[in-house]
Structure 1
């Protein structure tokens, strides 16, 4: 096998893409590329290629991945996408994600529980919207169902709290204000029926 060319990665300027026999082979950090002296080589053996993938690439990707998850709780999909964005191959990224999952560094169920809890406190949304956001982050339907089913979340109560917080000083019987209330809450995924119910409850209390 012959190293025919190399170039800066289009995804990350600190990564070098290596081509063997005119075919893309792998990407690795520039410092590792220089340390291994690949720029001086013309030939590379199967053993050397295996070492690079097994020892150098996985070790480098895992080091970066641990740094990412130590700074922020991430889902499997988010970590995988992060590694890809840094120039690591799909194969290496998947191996590292699976390794960190096995070691407990990432756990989609814990991620989903924390996500739902924080959303409910900081920026409440409907369960429908929470489901969509978790799905977009790569959380499986089974985990989403389990987390949302076990989370005490009365949408009517949440709606009433949001209305009082954002529109408490306004006349809720004013059609213009009512329209704004519906617009604000439907944007967060709440149903027309539940919003109407929440509005009626507040107006009755007043």
Structure 2
């Protein structure tokens, strides 16, 4: 078998697309392409191809993923999308993620637990908002439901504190302020029942 072409990826020039007998075979990081002296080769056998595909590319994808995880914890989906953006073939990304999950480096349930815990401490919000944010990060609905049920989230208290912090200095009897509070809390995922209770509590605070 002959290496008939080696082309830099358009979206990621650090990755080289290798064509064997005029058909696409795999992509490989440029540094590995140079280290393995593939630029000097015209012939390549099945054993070399297998080594590059199963060892070199998967290993390199794992290294890049681990580098990402040193900056912050990420979901399986986030890691997968980033590795694909970097130009790794899907099969190598899938295998790298499988190995990292078995080693405990990727755990969406743990991610969701930490994410909700941090949010409730630093930026409290509604259950709906938390579910939406985790869903955007690729966490499955089953995991989200399981994890969020483990937390005691008093949405009435959270909504009240948010509204009080933002609108506490205004006249709560002003209909414009009330509409702003309704809009503000609605956008944060709180139900009308919760919002109605917040308005009533703020009115009581003023009269009391």
TM-score strictly above 0.5: yes
Deviations, residues 6-52 of structure 1 (Å, cap 9, x unaligned): 21123322111111222221111111101212122222111010010
State yes or no: 1:13 paired with 2:25. Answer: no
Q: Confirm whether residue 116 of structure 1 aligns to residue 116 of structure 2.
A: yes
Residue 132 of structure 1 corresponds to which residue in structure 2?
A: 132
Residues 53-74 of structure 1: CA deviation (Å, up to 9, x unaligned): 1221111111111111121100
Q: Secondary structure at the match of 1:24?
A: strand
Distance 1:25 1:171 in 2: 68
For normalisation by structure 2, the TM-score amounts to: 0.94
Aligned-CA RMSD value:
1.3
Unaligned residue ranges in structure 1 (runs of 5+): none
Secondary structure of the structure 2 residue equivalent to 1:171:
coil
The 1-side partners of 2:187 and 2:21 are apart by 53
Cα distance, 1:136 vs structure 2: 1.9
Offset at 1:123?
Answer: 2.6
In structure 2, how many angstroms separate the alpha carbons of the residues matched to 1:27 and 1:173?
65
What's 1:80 paired with?
A: 80
2:52 corresponding residue in structure 1:
52
**TM-superposition CA deviations, 1:181-206 (whole Å, max 9, x none):** 11211111112221111111221133
TM-score in terms of structure 1 length: 0.94
Aligned partner of residue 121 in structure 2, secondary structure: helix
1:122 deviates by 2.8
Q: Please state whether the residue corresponding to 1:157 is helix, strand or coil.
A: helix
The aligned length equals 206
| More off after superposition, 154-163 vs 58-67 | 58-67
Q: 1:101 is matched with which residue?
A: 101
Deviations 1:145-177 (A, max 9, x none): 111111111111100000111111111221111
* Runs of 4+ more than 4 Å apart: none
